[in-house]
Structure 1
Amino acid sequence: MQVIAYYRVSTKSQGESGLGLEAQRDYVQTAAAQQGWDVVAEYVESGVSGSIHPLERPEGAKAFAHGLPVVVAKLDRLSRDVEHIAGMMKRTTFRVATMPKADTLQLHLFAMLAEQERTFISQRTKDALASLQARADAGNADAIASVNNRTEALAKGRTEANRKKGNAVVAANAQALAESVSDALVACMHRQGARTLQAVADCLNQRGIATARGSKWAPTSVKRVMDRLSLAFPE
């Protein structure tokens, strides 16, 4: 039987370092050898939370799109959410390497246990943070330092996420501008014979076309747009 292997690591660092990934591969390869499965493709989900539905994850959607049974190392690599697992059993076919012969009832049971474990982990984390904050409020120097370090780390993470989001917006706006002036730029080169960056800039300025900032075109701004559109001067 042909199958698709799907692996998930919760953090990007785990995905880059291979932490947990090789163990998952070992589980799947061992089960495949024992069950006579032929793994024809592999998909690795990195930095995506298990709380997201498997079919809404980029690599998860690709894995199940094949229409073949999808194999995961352990059930929690697919999801710890009982509703997710129940829905997946109705809509798709999947196998779990650590319990390849599990029936529907057993899968439901393990899904319930996985969800309970997730709830316990979340509560333990909340309790630990509350205890840490209480010690910091009481003046414990180590606790205060830990709280400050965590706050700084979270702030740095949010700043990095915002920076990436901002870069994506800037790139999208730049692409939109480039596409909006592409016809005029091509016309300057082919109809009016502009053969230098300065000539193209002069042509666009004469046409009354402004840059994204509302300023006049310069050779550097023309080059950026041409590079973005993969345009070159006619030979």
Structure 2
Amino acid sequence: MNIVAYYRVSTDGQGKSGLGLDAQREYIRLAAESNGWIIVGEYTDTASGTIPPTERAQCKAALAACAEHDATLVVAKLDRLSRDVEDIAGLMKRVQFKVATMPTADAFQLHIYAALAQQEREFIAQRTTAALARLKALAGTGNKEAQAKVARRDAGREAAQKVGTGRALEAKAVNADNRAKVLEAELKACLFDGEPTYSAIAKCLNGKGVTTDRGNAFSAMTVKRLMARLNIALPV
């Protein structure tokens, strides 16, 4: 069986140091050797697990590779894909995938594991919120140590938010570029098959059932933006 390996780390530091990444690779390598799987591609995202898999650039590339090679997507652990049941259910409709640490688990079992992982994430969030509320209440009484902890947390969140916003914008641009490249052939076919106008190209794409990244029909404006991203101009 051909497989595409997908790895995810949450920070640049983990990605560069190999912290967590080497372990993921080893899990998949051992599972592949034990089950006779052939690794035909490997993709790695540095992204938060809260970002849906289909919005991560390398995960999208891995899904495309699975379709190209008639391969199964494999992750070391289920949470490398997502801890969200809805995300896991959506992926099950798009691609076959397996988890290296439980290679014999079927779709039903994986769905149950995802539900348990989501429940644990919710419990952790509840405990964190409760602990923070207690810390803020203590800080409100004038406790210096509690006040210092709250200040450090606020500073850390502000710094993380700035980094996260930049990464989100970068990921959005990468996703848009990848989507544009996927549509390039269809766009060029419409460009040279009829009137060379944005409206005519939009009509052609819609007639073929091609949609925008959001699943909407093309308009003259969305065609213009797509062509600008691909650096393609209308014939003079």
TM-score, with structure 2 as normaliser: 0.65
What runs of 5+ residues in structure 2 fail to find an aligned partner? 171-236
- Partner SS state of residue 42, structure 1: strand
* Structure with greater Cα Rg: 1
**Alignment partners' CA distance in 2, 1:81 and 1:141:** 38
Displacement, 1:18?
1.7
- Partner SS state of residue 50, structure 1: coil
Displacement, 1:87?
1.6
Matched AA of 1:75? L
Structure 2 counterpart of 1:78: 81
Any idea what the Cα deviations from partners look like across 1:3-57, whole Å, max 9, x if unmatched?
11001112222222222111111111110010101112211111x2222221221
Structure 1 counterpart of 2:159: 156
- Provide the aligned length of Structure 1 versus Structure 2: 165
Displacement, 1:132?
1.3
Displacement, 1:91?
1.5
- Partner SS state of residue 32, structure 1: helix
TM-score, with structure 1 as normaliser: 0.65
**Alignment partners' CA distance in 2, 1:120 and 1:20:** 24
Q: How does 1:69-108 map to 2 (within 5 A)?
A: 69-108=72-111
Any idea what the Cα deviations from partners look like across 1:70-96, whole Å, max 9, x if unmatched?
110011111111111112112111111
Tell me: CA distance 1:135–1:60, structure 2 relative to 1, closer, same or farther (3 Å): same
The answer to whether 1:38 aligns with 2:41 is: no
Q: Percent identity over the alignment? A: 53
Displacement, 1:102?
0.7
Q: How does 1:95-174 map to 2 (within 5 A)?
A: 95-159=98-162
Displacement, 1:158?
4.2
Displacement, 1:160?
5.4
| CA RMSD after TM alignment | 2.1
- Partner SS state of residue 118, structure 1: helix
Matched AA of 1:81? D
Displacement, 1:112?
0.5
